[in-house]
Structure formats: structure tokens, C-alpha cells
Structure 1
Amino acid sequence: MTIKSIEKAILHHQNLYDKGKPEISDKQFDILVANLQRRSPGSPVLDQLGKPLRTEKIRHHTSMLSLQKFYVVANVETWGKKTGETLFAIQPKYDGVALSLRYEKGKLVHAATRGDGEEGDDVTRRALLCPDIPKRIKERRSVEIRGELIMQSTVFEDMFEGEFANARNAVAGNLMRRSGRTDVIKACSFFAYDLLVKKMFDFDTRMKALGDLKFMPTHTAFVVSTAIGEKLNTFSESFREFDYAMDGLVIKVCSYKIQEAVGYTAHHPRWACALKFRGETARTTILDVTWQVSRNGTLTPVAELDPVDLDGVTISRATLHHLGRFKMFAPRKGDIVMLARRGGVIPHIEAIETGKGKKIKVPKVCPSCEGSLRVEKDFLKCCEPECDSALIRKLRHWANTTGMDCWGPEVIQALYDAGDLTHPDDFYELGHTDIERLDGFGMDSSTALIEEMEKTREMPLDTFITALGIPLIGKTIAKRIAKAIPDIESFGFVDMDVAGVGQSRINALRDWIIDQGDLLERLLDVVDVIPIVRPDIEGPLAGKNFVFTGRLSDMERSEAQHLVCKYGGDVAGGVTKTTNYLVVGDLAKDGQLTKRNKAEKYGVTIISETEFASMLAEAMTENE
């Protein structure tokens, strides 16, 4: 790329980021900036970063600058020596939305996003929907609280997965739109990471003051300069276990005098930096895009790639997620893509360098059944309810969920092609002859398949609900619904009284029943659904909600959770106002304080592993 094209790309992506619509990852943007700094250190674009690109409603009293970024611990150690400081603070770098909260005489006067660092969007009314952001504080001075608005990973998975690409997109998109959903912001947490007042003081005192003002301070570890490298390696692992998305660590000088002495550049403070988590990337070429049909009829674009090694794995395909993302990238054959493995597992397209190849078009008909298509927001959907691919995926989902492990994709496809298997209830009408007339299937095969199918004629209510494949209703939500209703006959009357099941999921369930009521009735003719019976259990665990954090020394966490449920309690992944106990494992690491901080905020009882074992023993004794 030429210097001019690099400058143009930086300004383009900075503008999109300021608008909350980034096209590339932070790391890819950092690479662009580093490239420009190396090739043209005097470029005027470098001076523009962090300055206004467009007019905003709120101007920050103190600039919200970017941080200098490092990817190697040794570079952070070198930076630390240059500051002359002997004590540093280390905080997680959450991947959320940075906010500045301005309080005058104890009253919140505005909440603003970072924006371009000088000016940000006014999001005061929507920010107040977050339970961690108070309208008033006990402080008469003018103060500014800076922090990150973020959603717990488990909350996102339970309530919003499938509706948004990830937790950050859910938060940013709904915070900065007047028509955004209030339930998303209400489900967020706000972690305060700094306090700004007219007469500043050292960083450790500022963090303590945040707690005194009833904010939830970002977890902060203080380390001496000689141990900074060792602690960064330790915290890089322990912080990753937090129930929030993060992409690195922030390191800050503690002394305010030294902060003032080392000062700022036009782009970042010299007294703070970020250590970004390294994720291996690779470049390859797009050969084409194919469209897969999900069991709910949504078409997913999948990039077919020239095979490339990424982190020891050969990658030849990567999802583009949905129509909206496909249009944003507008891929062409021969385009160069930058790949990364999210979480070390899923190949993700971080950026595309558009070339002059043949433009890849959106299909006009369903690639499976050739039926018509419709667009719903960012999604492309098949209008044909009997679409081949969707029906086959529903059959495979039913078999996988109910435990029909022998029913692999080949036998399901063969029976579908033969016209003997179209809907899940058809499994229970199959006989030996239907299977044995398939190529390669004899008496032994048909016997094994039918015996396994017969075992699923009776199944728990939560398994049945999960197997239906209702949009937005996964295993966790299905279990919550099953616990809330007495039997399957009450399935159509689920309402918002079910804890942890949002309105969008309730609507999806009701819509499915209207559309698929005939299938539900047919299934109930061939399957016995067993309701979840909550026995009359007494004892200290009965009716209580538990959350665990940290490793347990005497048992696996899954075993402890099972025992809680066995003796009448419930288990959740994150702390909420309805949590009764937070159990801290004896092997919990120093960095695992996020759940503890939230428990203290909500007045949740925090108990040790030993105390939990005592409660468990009492429950077992009372229910012998």
C-alpha cells in the first residue's frame, strides 16, 4: 500500500469506529497506524488521530486519548523503566464501550462515549438504564468517572446470542440509538477505571474513592517495577477467566506527580499503555462464497478460501455471518483476507483488501430448494417452510439433542432423499424395511438405529424443548422454561415470569407455536414428555441461587453445581440481584474478583468452599 492509501484507510476506519460501526479489529487498525508511523512519521494523519473528525454533542473536559499498545511483555518493561515509576497498576482492558460520566454537585449531568477522544456522543438517558450507573452520588465536587460499559459473556449467551454478533455490538448498537433496546443496556455492567477531579491524587487513592462512591471499580492489581513482567504474564492468564470479553491489559503509573511529569503525546498519555493479547493471524485469498441454509431457514455466507495454516490448523472456510456483514465487506473473487482464530478456535475474517476480481453476488433464490428469499434486517431467509437444507438440519438437530447418536448425517440424508423422513415425528414411524432398503444398511444396522430411536420415546421436558430447535431457545433457556412450567400442556403459556428469559425469546417461542403447532401435536402423539419434578427438599440449599467462582479443591465445579440442583437449589453463571450465595473456590486466583465485586455491590452472601461443603453436608443429612 502507498502512504497515501494507508492514510486514507486510517481516516476511513477511525471515522467508522467513532460512529460505533468498525469494519476491522483494533489490532488491524493498530497495524495500519504502526505502518504509517514507520514509513511516514511526520504524516499529518498521525496528528489527526484523537482529534475531532466530526461535530459531537459533548466535549470532554479532559481528552479521552488512546493508549500506546504493545504486544510483547519485554516492551512494556522497557516502557516502565522510561517512566521512572516504581509502582504500577494493572487492569483488564475490557472490550466494551468507554464512557465518561460527569457529575456536578452530586448529580449526573451527562454521560458521553469516547468518540474521537475530544468529543463523544451524548448517551446520558440510555446510560442511566444500566443499574451500575447512579443518577446521584455523595460528592459535592465536580468529578468525572471514566469506565467501561460491558455485558457479561454468560448474560449475552443466555439472553441475546443469535440476535447480535457479539456482546460489544449489542451494547454499542443499542446505547447509541434512540430506538435501541432498553433490555440490552439494563443487562450491562459498568466498571469504573478512573476518577478525575480538579485536585488530582495518586491512582490507588482514586480507585478506593470510586468504591466509596458506590461504583464498581475495575479490578486493579498493584505491582512494583521489578515484578511487572512476571505479573503481566500471570494476569494475562487469570484475567482471561473473567466472565467478560477483554483484549488485553492496561498498565498505569500510580504516582500523579510522575503522570504529570511524563505528560502526553498528541495520541496517548506517556504514563499508561496497553498490552494487547496476541492472536495469530494469516492472509489468504477468497475463492468464492457459498450460502448455507440453517434449520431456521437463514442463509449464512461462507467464504471458500485458498487453504492456509493458522495457529497449526489448515483453514479453508470462514463464515461471513450474515447478509449485513457480506454487504459490508462486498467480497470479490481473489480478494485478500486477514484471518484470526477467535478464542483460538473459530476462524474469523478480520478484514478484506478489495481487489479487481469478479464481484460475488447475493443469491436470488434459495440454493437448496430454489424458493424465494426475503430480507429481515441483516439476515437473508428462505420463504419456503419445506426447504430441503433447513428440514435436514432440523432432523439432525433433533437426533443430536435427544441422544440418537447412531443417526449420523448420511443415514438422515438417505432417508430424506427416499421420502421416508421429513419431520422429527417421522423418526418414530420408521420400520426395519425403510432402513434396510438403503444401500449399505442391513438387519444389524436397522436394529441398532431403531433401538436407539425407541429409547427417545420418553424424554425430559427440557430436552424436548431444546430438540424443537426454536430460534433463540437453546439448552440453558429450555431448562429455565421447563423448570417454570408444570408440564408440556403449559408450554404455550410461558410468560415473562420465567427468570432469565427475555421478551425476544418469549416472542420467538410464541411465534414458533403458531407456525409449528401441527408438528408439536404430532410429536406429542409419539413421544412422552416427562416434566421436571422438583421434589420436596428441605435444607440450606433449597430454593437458593448459587454462583461459583474460581477452582474448587475438593470437586469439579460441574459436580458442585449438580449437587446444588439435586438438593433443591439453582445455579447461574453470573451474579445478579437474585443471587443468594457466591461460592469462592479454595484455588481461586487473585485476579478472579469480578464476581466478588458484583456480589458485594448487590449484598450477596459470599462463602468459602469450606462453608459451602458444610451447607452441602447439612442438606444431604436432612434429605437422607
Structure 2
Amino acid sequence: MDREKAKERIEELKKLIEKYNYLYYVENKPQISDLEYDALFDELKSLEEQFPEYADANSPTKRVGSDLSNKFEKIKHEIPVLSLDKAYSKTEIIDWINKIIAEYPETTFSMQEKFDGVSIVLYYKNGILDKAVSRGDGFIGNDITENCRTIKTIPLKLDKRINISVRGEVYIEKEDFEKLKNTNEYANPRNFASGTLNRIKSSEVAKIPLKFFAYDAVCEGFENDYLLLSLLLRFGFNVSPNTLFISNKKKKEATLLKESTSFKETTSLFDEEATEEKEEIKFKIIEFNEVESQIDYFIKIRNSLAYQIDGLVFKVNEFSTRNKLGYTGHHPRWAIAYKFEAPRAVTIVKDIVWQVGRGGRITPVAILEPVALAGSTVSRATLHNIDYIKMLELSIGDIVSISKRGDIIPAVEEVLEKSENPIIIEVPKFCPSCSTEVRLDGPIAYCDNEKCPSKMKESIIYFASRDCMNIENLGEETIDLLFENNLIKDIPDIYKIDYSILLKFEGFAEKKVNLIKEGIEKSKQNSFDILLYSLGFNQLGKQTVKLLINNGLDSCEKLIEAAKKNDISIFTSINGIGEKTASLFIEIFSSKRFLYLMNEFEKLGFKLYAKKDERNKSKAFEGLSFCITGTLSNFPKREIAEQEIEKRGGKVLSAVSSKLTYLVVGSNPGSKLEKAKELNIKIMDETEFIMMLENSK
């Protein structure tokens, strides 16, 4: 191919790949198969290698990232990146709106989700992504351009030669975080997204399915937010479909767009080429008297969204009014955030203890003066790691504010009053359980002793838990009792002891002991895949085990033989397993620990291979996705229903989104039902679901 044809083909391929990226990652409407996409991608990569003069930094091939280290240079922001004023009640929001309308009666407003992600600014020069900068302190941020180039929902090139600054949030969907939570140390999706975005190597960032929502922009020639967000949509940015505009009845009927300069007239200012005629973009518009009910609606559906939000943002729509309202030193007067505040309480930190998890991580926990919070009494709260303690400037004896993050996990949020005699907190030099010297990896402390008693006990608790072997009636308190009395020391001991010995302990009658015995016997019927991921080895979670089994590594013997060959390609040939994980699997399946456990379970009579129906799944539900809400009367555990779906090749989702095919509804359904109706998702009751299962056999 000559140089001119190569140049034309490279440009053609870049446009095609960006188009298919947009359809796949933003619209969720793939138009070509993975095989066809890979062929286009490989062709572009090959041509760029042959003709490097035509390769540029914004090529789709650059999204795979680089192994070169980024130094995160500091960059001064070109636009104000201030915090927002906050409100915690609907009354405060209504008062804020009314105050502005009293001064500027024709004002309209936008209402957007407040995404719980990582705030960044994208700067485009002549339509090309020039740099991506973290929020930083609002004036100076880190240059994270190379990492952001790997995020497929961030356009690298716009179809207009335009200078524009785009603000938005980098995030990871809740479902993706759940899949990857065993591979990271982060407590929630936001922290995971932040940690990923700050990695030194962009090639590592490229492996994580980060996404980007655009919610604001600065660009000359536009007179309101409605038009500017419409432009972002046209340029291929992911703008939340839940974005609303608030107006009076007259403007609602006319639509905000028609009262503004037309899209075609505005964009023609930036490019002499004719603007393509496209269908008019319209956001939903509500009236002022609907604001409170919309806030209630978002509070109701927030947990069913595919991503995390922690509030709503209200902004003045007209830029001329924004300019008149101006800024304080801290925030713009034309915007305010309504926060879904987690319940809080005030208490005293009485002590700090360090607890050892089954993976060896040593985590600080605050021992608190017991306090009522969100319907329960809280006496302990997580402190994550030593850096978090330093950030809070926390010491024993301080008066603190605590919350239930995600309405579940108690956490210390801030120090309200310092103790008169503070006791400084330091990372222990030795494991509090086994006295082995602690290993530090950044701010995280680890115990590497495989036989550490705390690690062993936590592994047993994990093994018996509902999400693993589900040993009924063998709860954490019973395991604590057995472990502290040296009746069990390791996982296989669960199946070796005579539980009648519990009769000598207070609270254990014959009926209770018999129920534990029944639970033990019942758990022996669990399939090989459940046994394997219940052992708690790093990276060996539920989904990964299924990948191994479905790709022929379906027995203990085959896994051990594969590890003996010391060839990572045996594992990397499986779609979804990378080199790092493959190396770890070789280490695990050849380890003394794994060999010991397999030998013990074989002697206990466990089947160390997948049964035929576990290996050869039906494809009846292939391409279909399901989500379950409420209680299903015919399935004692929701996991059983989910296994039936997966057995037929279907996919189980944890949240309702446009990707969902069916919502299965049991009794007492949650907010997922309303969200499914909103998105026109097919809804079926338990009877219909069972019929579908029967018909697919």
C-alpha cells in the first residue's frame, strides 16, 4: 500500500473504530461482532506501525495504554473548578430557586445526578483532546491525560474544530466493581476509580472498565446549558439520560431549545463545513412544582442505578444569569448540590485495634463509645488504613462524627474535637495475632504468615458463609467458639469433629447441634466450583472459577497438571484471564497449601471435579440478562435462581440498566421494579420465570 492510500485508510479506520466504540460503550447498541472489531483494530495498529508518521496520540490504538511511567505533572486549570454549595433538605433547594427567580424571573434550571466518582476536566484544542486534568485543589491538578485516553467513553477527537473544556466524572459501574472487588483493596467504586486513575502505568488503567459522564462544559458562543449539553451528546459524550430541566409552563411548552440559538447556527461558528441535519435533541423538562417529587424519585431509585450517585446538582441554565450571579471564593452562586447525606452520629474513640483479614491485611478499627445510628447501636467503625487516620488527624480520645456509608458500614468521617491527652496511633510492627513481622505495602499492613490464627479463623468463616459453602446454622459465633477452644484449626476440620462436643457449652441444646450437623452434611453436596472459590485464594472468585471450568480446567487434577507445566498461556488463552492472574494461578495450584487442601477434601469424600451438567451448560439463555428483586418463594436462596440462569448461559446483573433483558419480581420488590418500568424492561413474576426455566430444559 502506498503512503497516500495508507493515510486515507488510517483516517477511515479511526473514524470507524470511534463510531463503534460510541455505539458499544455509550449507546449500548453494538453493530459489529468482537471479531470484526478486532480485525479493524489490528489493521489500524499494523498500518500505524508501518507508517508511524500518520499515527497520532489520539488514535483509538492508544487506548490500550503505555508501560511508560507517568510523572503526573501539575497543570493550572484554564477554567474555575470550584466546589459546590450544599443543601441537605428539599426546603433549602426550593428556597435557593425562589431567591434567584425573585431577582431574575425568567431563569430556568438544570437538574443532574451528582455522580460519586472522580472529577476531571478535559481540554480540547481544535477538536483534539489536548489534556485531561484532575480536579486537584480547583486551581491546579494532575496531568492524567495518558490514563484518560484509555477510557473508551472519552472522545479523543471531536467532529468539529472547536476549543472546549468539558467537566465530568470518571466512575466504574457497581456491577463491574463487584466483579473486580476481589482483585483490589478499595472499599467502594469511587475509591477504586480514583486509585485506578492515579496509577503510574496507563496500560494498567486500560484493563479497568472505567467510564466517563460529562455534565458541564465551557465554550464560547453558547448561551445556555441546554444547548451545551446537547452539543456534548452530538460529540459522542456520555451525558446522563436522567438530566432534567426546570422551567415555567410557558417555556416548557415552547421547549428551551427553540428559544435559544439553534444548534446548527451555533456549531457553524466553529466550522465552515455545513452542519449535518440531525434529529433535535430534547431533554425532559419539568415545572417548578415538580422539583420536590423529582428529588423523592431520585432518592428512591438511587440504589437501583448502575452507577453510584450521592446527590443531585441544580444549576442556572442561562449563562448570562450565571455571569450576573458570579462566584464566592469557594463556589459559584448559580449552582448548588443536594446531598443524600448518610446518617451520622457523634461519639468518642475509646481505642484502636488492628484486625487481621483472611488475606493477611491488617486493618485499623475504631472502638467507640456505643451510639445509636440508623436503627442500630454502633460500637466499632472502620478506619481503612494509616493514611486515612493521618488524613483525619485522629487519635484515641477524640470526639468524632461517624456515618453508615452506603447505609451499611460504619466509618469515622471527621474529628469534631481533639482529646486533651491524645494518644497517637501507629502501625504495629508485628502481627497482633501471631507476632510475625508486619510487611508494609504503601499505607497497607500485611501479615504473610500462612498459619496466622486470625487468617485461619477468617478463612473458615468465609468458607462456611452464605455466599460460599453456605453451611447452614454454622455461624460466625459458633466458629469463634470452636476456634478459641482449639476444636478446629483449619478449613477441613469443619468436617472432622464431632459436633456433639458443643452440648457442654452454654446455649447449645441437642436440637441446635443436630441442625449444625445437618448443615455440614448438606454442604458436602456442593459442586466443585463452589468448593474451589470458597477456599478464598486470591483472584479465585466465583466468576474466575467458572471461566476455568467452562474452558476445560474442570478438575483438581487438571488444575494441578496445568500449574506443573509452568506455562501461563494455558490460562491466558482463556478470555478474561490476563498474564498477572495466570502467573498467580500457577503459584496457587502448585502451592503446598492447595495440594494439602485437595488431598484433605478427597479423603473427606468430596468430588474434586465438575459434573457433566456443570461443564456443558445450555445456551438457551445466551445473550439474555436477568436481575432479581424481592423474595422468590420457590427458591430458598436467590443464588439458586441465579445459578439456574447461568446454567442456561444467561447473565445475572445486580442493577437495572438499559442492558437488562428481564427483571424477575418476587414478593416485596424494591426500587428496581420502578426503574425497570421507567426503562421499559420486560418484567416477569416468579411463575413466568419458572415456566421459562422449564421450557429451556
Report the TM-score, using the length of structure 2 for normalisation: 0.69
Q: Which residue of 1 aligns with 2:649?
A: 568
SS of match in other structure, 1:102: strand
Q: CA deviation at 1:134?
A: 2.1
Partner of 1:488: 556
Provide the alpha-carbon RMSD of the alignment. 4.2
Amino acid at match of 1:317: R
Higher mean C-alpha displacement, 150-159 vs 526-535:
526-535
2:571 partner SS: coil
Q: Give how far 1:558 is off.
A: 8.0
Cα distance, 1:110 vs. partner? 1.3
Which of 203, 215, 229 in structure 2 is aligned with 1:193? 215
CA distance in 1, matches of 2:692, 2:475: 46
Using the alignment, how far apart are the partners of 1:375 and 1:99 within structure 2?
A: 31
Q: Distance in 1 between matches of 2:293 and 2:512?
A: 58
Deviation at 1:213, TM superposition (A): 1.1
Would the aligned equivalents of 1:281 and 1:310 in 2 still touch at CA under 8 Å? yes
Residues 1:255 and 2:318 aligned together = yes
1:82-128 per-residue CA deviation (whole Å, 9 max, x = no partner) reads 22245322111112122222222322111112223333222111100
Q: Is the 8 A contact 1:552 1:585 kept in 2?
A: no
Aligned with 2:97 (options 80, 104, 108):
80
2:146, 2:202 within 8 Å by CA — same for their partners in 1?
no
Pairwise CA distance, 1:339: 0.6
Between the two proteins, the alignment pairs up a number of residues equal to 557
Match of 1:457 in 2: 524
- Matched residue type, 2:571: D
Secondary structure at 1:357's aligned position in 2?
coil
What's the CA shift for 1:393? 2.3
Tell me how far apart the structure 2 counterparts of residues 405 and 148 of structure 1 sit (CA, whole Å). 43
Question: Which of 170, 188, 195 is residue 192 of structure 2 equivalent to?
Answer: 170
SS of 2:342's equivalent in the other structure is coil
Q: Distance in 1 between matches of 2:202 and 2:461?
A: 36
State how far apart, in whole Å, the 2-side matches of 1:58 and 1:475 are.
42
What pairs with 1:456-475 in structure 2 (closer than 5 Å)? Answer: 456-475=523-542
**Equivalent in the alignment of 1:396:** 461
Partner residue of 1:67? 84
Note the C-alpha offset of 1:562.
Answer: 5.8
**1:56 touches 1:119 (CA, 8 Å); kept in 2?**
no
2:597 maps to which of 519, 522, 534: 519
Following superposition of structure 1 onto structure 2, how do residues 134-145 of structure 1 map, counting pairs within 5 Å? Answer: 134-145=155-166
What secondary structure, in the 3-state scheme, does the structure 2 residue paired with 1:243 have?
coil
What do the CA deviations read for 1:279-334 (whole angstroms, capped 9, x no partner)?
A: 22222211111222222333222211112222332221112223443455564331
Pick aligned residue for 1:205 from 227, 247, 250: 227
- Which residue of the partner structure matches residue 622 of structure 2? 543
Moved more, 399-408 or 583-592: 583-592
For residues 4-403 of structure 1, what are the structure 2 equivalents within 5 Å? 57-84=74-101, 85=106, 87-161=108-182, 162-179=184-201, 182-183=204-205, 186-218=208-240, 219-222=242-245, 223-326=286-389, 328-329=391-392, 331-352=394-415, 353-355=417-419, 356-400=421-465, 401-403=468-470
Which sits farther off after the overlay, 76-85 or 367-376?
367-376
AA paired with 1:567?
A: R
Aligned-pair distance for 1:472?
A: 4.6
Report how far residue 499 of structure 1 moved: 5.4
Q: Is the 8 A contact 2:305 2:655 kept in 1?
A: no
1:67 partner amino acid: L
Deviation (angstroms), 1:176:
3.3
Going from structure 1 to structure 2, the CA distance change for 1:313 and 1:455 (only over 3 Å counts) comes to closer
Deviation at 1:227, TM superposition (A): 2.2
Q: Which runs of 4+ in 1 moved over 6 A?
A: 432-446, 535-539, 549-553, 555-560, 584-591, 613-619
SS of the aligned residue for 2:526 comes to strand
Measured after TM superposition, the shift of residue 160 of structure 1 is 3.5
- Partners of 1:63 and 1:185 lie apart in 2 by 32
CA contact (8 A) 2:364 2:386 kept: yes
The one-letter code matched in structure 1 to 2:427 is V
- For residue 244 of structure 2, what is the amino acid of its counterpart? A
The one-letter code of the counterpart of 1:393 is E
* Structure 1 gap segments, 5+ residues each: 1-54, 597-605
- Equivalent AA in structure 1 for residue 172 of structure 2: M
Per-residue CA deviations over 1:414-435 (Å, capped at 9, x if unaligned) read: 5545655322223333347876
Conserved 8 A contact 2:618-2:649: yes
Counterpart contact for 1:247–1:276, Cα < 8 Å: yes
Amino acid at match of 1:531: A
Partner of 1:602: none
Q: 1:179 to 1:83 in 2, by over 3 A?
A: same
SS in 2 for 1:459: coil
Question: Equivalents in 1 of 2:460, 2:523: separation in Å?
Answer: 14
TM-aligned CA distance change 1:499 to 1:461, over 3 Å: farther
1-structure distance, mates of 2:397, 2:153: 48
The residue identity in structure 2 corresponding to 1:363 is: P
Q: Is the 8 A contact 2:351 2:366 kept in 1?
A: yes
Q: Which amino acid aligns with 1:489?
A: E
